[in-house]
Amino acid sequence: MAPSNPTWWKESVVYQVYWRSFFDADGDGYGDLEGVIRKLDYIRELGVDVIWLNPVYESPDRDNGYDISDYEAVMPKAGTMATWERLLDEVHRRGMKLIMDLVVNHTSDRHPWFLESRSSKDNPKRDWYIWKEPRDGGPPNNWRSYFAPSPWTQDEETGQYYFHSFASEQPDLNWRNPEVREEIYRMMSSWLDKGIDGFRLDAIALLAKPDGFPDAERPEDIRYLTNNPGLHDYLREMNERVLSRYDIVTVGEAAFVTPAEGLKFVGEDRRELNMLFHFEVCDEMASWDMRRFKDIQRRWYEGLWGKGTNSQFLNNHDHTRQVTRYGNDGRYRVQSAKLLATMLHTLPGVPYIYQGEEIGMTGVRFGAIEDYDDIAMRNRYAEEVDKGADPAETLARLAPLSRDNSRTPMQWDGSPNAGFTEGKPWIRVNPNYADINAAKDLADPDSVYRYYQSLISLRRTHDVMVYGDFAEWPERRGDEHLYVYERTLDGRRWLIVLNHGDEPARLDRPERLRGLSLRLLLANYPADPAEGEDAMQLQPHEARIYEVETNRN
Ligand code: GLC
């Protein structure tokens, strides 16, 4: 297949900073921008190129910043605009780039635009949001929203319903209205003019809404919220008016897309976005399923390679941590965290690291609903308990996938509150912090953090990891524990061997590799000198990267 055009962002590794849980510099219990500045060397040392910063805009914070009430101000919990500017400078001074998380599908219900819009039917901003008359005295259709039983909330004043894909505090903007688009483009340009390096575009597949909002046959399948006609016209317009004018990178959060659909967002000839997050893994694959994962990778590779860029990640701030959900966070936690990293950094696409992943942080179980902060979890719990479900059973069922699993504070050291804050943390710290923390990892040459450093530095020095074609070993395609694949570029050939199982496994060398020497570049177990040429004896959760000598002399 044709290799893709070399571009800086394809070669990068992105580190996601969920700042409110990263480092608290002022002791109020929330991480903040000053805290991020203080920890920039830690991030830089890892070797990453780009930082994705979760939303810092003014917000009532019902959904942790994804409910913006002023796009051009910084929320006091995070700091001030001056601190944000210093952060940008400090990031750039260290040779890294900063991308901002931006939410343009919806605003907060406290945004002045919405306050005006809801104030009367003939307010000039009425049409900036989506308002409908009741149907038979109830909501205009039978849909669900992500965070609420219905995406429609009635406004007492005018009797009409407004539309919200997420919580009722997050009304959707009406993208059909050109004034809305103009204002959003102006705002985006003003951030880019400050010198940022791009955007992560939240819920971007939701911008367009279908004509007439017809009822859904199966309301519980909320795909109808996404990928509606008109979406790509908006993205092309956004690209033409704003994005194409800067040397930046954009990554779109695109739920429910197939590779063919995904290519519409990131096809290089389409002039929309640069990369996307699809959620065939995180939203749709509840626990590890190797065959399914391989199939997903294969389909996305075939659909995108040479035409558009994928992202590799197994969790962000919306999911349970990868080593808990998809790996082994018990006996093999360290090996498993390293294996998952090896996989994400050697599969085709740009790897994303979610803060704490680089020290193998795990998910968490809290004992009471009050300990959970996540609006999605709290709303779902209230809905089910209201309908008569048993509270303890509901909590136990919702906890494994609660978004708070990944939102507990970064574990810096073994001191109280994991060294995250001197105050009371906004969300409880994972009790395993004495065991799992950055200070320990920095002091240990075999730690998960040190392994990430090696992996990232390999990527920096070997473009086969970025631009190499990908092929699985056909004999292991159906294997439920082993994932074996090669990346090749200009006569260079790499072999990646992963044993994702809790048991040892043997991997025979196929005929085509007999006689070729393999040079081990990185592994998460020490090499066994007794291992013969014909077969590899893999330990549980073992990962190896080899260079295959194509030319022996
Ligand atoms: C995205 C964000 C999530 C947020 C939602 C609504 O999925 O990642 O945290 O709740 O959009 O903005």
- The reply to whether 388 and 435 lie within a common domain is no
The last residue of a domain, from among 155, 172, 189: 172
As for how many domains the chain has, the answer is 4
- Check if 203 has its Cβ closer than 6 Å to any atom of ligand 1: yes
Which atom of ligand 1 sits closest to the CA of residue 106?
12
Asked whether residue 5 is assigned to any structural domain, the reply reads no
- The reply to whether 100 and 156 lie within a common domain is no
- The reply to whether 393 and 503 lie within a common domain is no
- Check if 63 has its Cβ closer than 6 Å to any atom of ligand 1: yes
The CA-atom distances, in angstroms, between 281 and each of 199, 274, 287, 290, 323 are 22, 20, 9, 11, 14
Asked whether residue 49 is assigned to any structural domain, the reply reads yes
- The reply to whether 222 and 239 lie within a common domain is yes
- Check if 199 has its Cβ closer than 6 Å to any atom of ligand 1: no
Which atom of ligand 1 sits closest to the CA of residue 103?
12
- Check if 357 has its Cβ closer than 6 Å to any atom of ligand 1: no
- The reply to whether 167 and 223 lie within a common domain is no
- Check if 279 has its Cβ closer than 6 Å to any atom of ligand 1: no
- Check if 404 has its Cβ closer than 6 Å to any atom of ligand 1: no
Asked whether residue 462 is assigned to any structural domain, the reply reads no
- Check if 166 has its Cβ closer than 6 Å to any atom of ligand 1: yes
- The reply to whether 113 and 102 lie within a common domain is no
553 residues of the chain, pLDDT tens digit each: 555 688 999 999 999 999 999 999 999 999 999 999 999 999 999 999 999 999 999 999 999 999 999 999 999 999 999 999 999 999 999 999 999 999 999 999 999 999 999 999 999 999 999 999 999 999 999 999 999 999 999 999 999 999 999 999 999 999 999 999 999 999 999 999 999 999 999 999 999 999 999 999 999 999 999 999 999 999 999 999 999 999 999 999 999 999 999 999 999 999 999 999 999 999 999 999 999 999 999 999 999 999 999 999 999 999 999 999 999 999 999 999 999 999 999 999 999 999 999 999 999 999 999 999 999 999 999 999 999 999 999 999 999 999 999 999 999 999 999 999 999 999 999 999 999 999 999 999 999 999 999 999 999 999 999 999 999 999 999 999 999 999 999 999 999 999 999 999 999 999 999 889 999 999 999 999 889 888 999 999 999 999 998 764 4
Strands, DSSP E only, in 103-149? 131-132
Which atom of ligand 1 sits closest to the CA of residue 66?
12
Ligand 1 centroid to residue 289 C-alpha, Å: 25
Asked whether residue 250 is assigned to any structural domain, the reply reads yes
How far, in Å, CA of 163 to CA of 154, rounded? Answer: 9
Pocket test for ligand 1, best of 170, 317, 318 (most atoms within 8 A of CB): 318
- The reply to whether 392 and 264 lie within a common domain is no
Q: What is the pTM of this model?
A: 0.97
- The reply to whether 441 and 500 lie within a common domain is no
Asked whether residue 248 is assigned to any structural domain, the reply reads yes
Asked whether residue 4 is assigned to any structural domain, the reply reads no
The last residue of a domain, from among 148, 172, 196: 172
- Check if 441 has its Cβ closer than 6 Å to any atom of ligand 1: no
How far, in Å, CA of 524 to CA of 543, rounded? Answer: 6
Joined tokens for residue 518: 């393999």
CATH number at residue 45: 3.20.20.80
- The reply to whether 311 and 228 lie within a common domain is yes
CA dihedral 202, 259, 336, 433 (to 10 degrees): 10
Asked whether residue 2 is assigned to any structural domain, the reply reads no
How far, in Å, CA of 47 to CA of 70, rounded? Answer: 33
* Catalytically annotated residues: 202, 253
- Provide the residue range defining the domain that includes 339: 14-107+178-369+403-455
Residue whose CA lies nearest to ligand 1 atom number 4: 66
Ligand 1 centroid to residue 73 C-alpha, Å: 20
- Check if 103 has its Cβ closer than 6 Å to any atom of ligand 1: yes
Residue whose CA lies nearest to ligand 1 atom number 6: 66
Q: At what angle do helices 178-193 and 231-241 cross, to 10 degrees?
A: 40
CATH number at residue 497: 2.60.40.1180
- The reply to whether 379 and 525 lie within a common domain is no
Ligand 1 centroid to residue 13 C-alpha, Å: 22
- The reply to whether 253 and 334 lie within a common domain is yes
CATH number at residue 136: 3.90.400.10
Asked whether residue 24 is assigned to any structural domain, the reply reads yes
Ligand 1 centroid to residue 135 C-alpha, Å: 29
- Check if 293 has its Cβ closer than 6 Å to any atom of ligand 1: no
Q: At what angle do helices 333-346 and 448-461 cross, to 10 degrees?
A: 20
The last residue of a domain, from among 142, 172, 202: 172
Ligand 1 centroid to residue 436 C-alpha, Å: 28
11 CB-side CA count, 13 A? 13
Which atom of ligand 1 sits closest to the CA of residue 166?
6
The CA-atom distances, in angstroms, between 396 and each of 62, 373, 392, 402 are 23, 16, 6, 10
Ligand 1 centroid to residue 54 C-alpha, Å: 10
Joined tokens for residue 183: 């204002």
Which atom of ligand 1 sits closest to the CA of residue 147?
10
- The reply to whether 142 and 260 lie within a common domain is no
Residue whose CA lies nearest to ligand 1 atom number 12: 66
Ligand 1 centroid to residue 3 C-alpha, Å: 33
Ligand 1 centroid to residue 66 C-alpha, Å: 6
Residue whose CA lies nearest to ligand 1 atom number 9: 318
- Check if 354 has its Cβ closer than 6 Å to any atom of ligand 1: no
DSSP assigned state of 10: G
